[in-house]
């Protein structure tokens, strides 16, 4: 398994509020996928997409990412064919909000991982809204693990033994829920940190999650993680 990482420099054609940033980036990527029927079908299929991306960098502290300014978006995937398509298309693509400029790619090295931590909010989908209103912390962690296992099984086809400890410590990085706009509603999420177990399966899973994101709506920009090596 390999995690492909692309750093895409983009030029903003309009101001974008922070709470709308991930949705605008997702729209940019969606419209690039729509340029070929194969990838449009992929986008529209109800399945894990196996890619994730972060918000624009450098960060804007005033709540608005600014028109006529250049930023970097980091995109990761475990799908080699998708990585190739992104590498070829995104640098020349544009929509009403974002114009691609240049792209650089690499394979994320496979080292022992000490910690993964989310740079974009983690989302647990529920008909009842924000998870804290109707779910315990134990349930939150259970769903996080089950979601990771489902993604891993779907992608690898392995009959995974689920009797392993993914992390030895878990904590939240935010004091209050983080709002983001998604399909004209406000989704509340959290940023989390996981200290990864030394078990071999945990290390494989953590590396995989760096390419797919954790929890849900990763192709909308949620659950993108950074890492610290051992």
Domain end among 107, 138, 164: 107
pLDDT in tens, 25-82: 999 999 999 999 999 899 988 889 999 999 999 999 899 999 999 999 999 999 999 9
Domain end among 45, 72, 107: 107
Same domain, 72 and 158: no
Domain end among 72, 91, 107: 107
Same domain, 134 and 48: no
The residue range of the domain holding 81 is 4-107
Same domain, 161 and 209: yes
Number of separate domains in the chain: 2
pLDDT in tens, 164-210: 999 999 999 999 999 998 888 889 999 999 999 999 999 999 999 99
| Mean pLDDT, residues 160-166 taken together | 90
Same domain, 123 and 225: yes
Same domain, 165 and 71: no
pLDDT in tens, 83-92: 999 999 999 9
Q: Is the pLDDT of residue 126 over 80?
A: no
- Total Cβ atoms within 10 A of residue 110: 12
Same domain, 218 and 139: yes
**Contact of 177 with 189, CB cutoff 8 Å:** yes
CATH of the domain at 210: 3.30.70.1900
pLDDT in tens, 113-122: 999 999 999 9
Computed over every residue of the chain, the mean pLDDT equals: 94
Same domain, 126 and 222: yes
pTM, full prediction: 0.94
> Would you state the pLDDT for residue 95?
97
């Amino acid at each position: 398994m390999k995690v492909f990482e692309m750093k895409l420099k983009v030029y903003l054609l309009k101001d974008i509020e922070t709470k709308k940033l991930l949705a605008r980036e997702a729209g940019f990527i969606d419209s690039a996928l729509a340029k070929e029927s194969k990838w449009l079908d992929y986008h529209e299929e109800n399945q894990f997409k196996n890619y994730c991306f972060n918000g624009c960098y450098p960060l804007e502290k005033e709540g608005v990412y600014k028109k006529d300014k250049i930023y970097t978006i980091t995109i990761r995937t475990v799908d080699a064919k998708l990585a190739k398509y992104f590498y070829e298309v995104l640098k020349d693509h544009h929509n009403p909000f974002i114009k691609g400029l240049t792209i650089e790619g690499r394979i994320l090295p496979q080292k022992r991982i000490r910690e993964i931590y989310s740079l974009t909010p983690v989302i647990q989908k529920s008909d009842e809204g924000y998870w804290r209103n109707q779910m315990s912390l134990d349930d939150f962690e259970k769903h996080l693990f089950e979601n990771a296992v489902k993604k891993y099984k779907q992608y690898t086809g392995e009959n995974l033994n689920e009797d392993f400890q993914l992390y030895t410590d878990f904590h939240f990085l935010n004091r209050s829920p983080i709002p983001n706009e998604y399909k004209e509603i406000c989704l509340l999420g959290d940023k989390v940190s996981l200290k990864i177990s030394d078990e071999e399966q945990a290390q494989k899973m953590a590396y995989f999650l760096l390419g797919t994101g954790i929890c849900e709506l990763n192709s909308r920009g949620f659950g993108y993680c950074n890492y610290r090596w051992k």
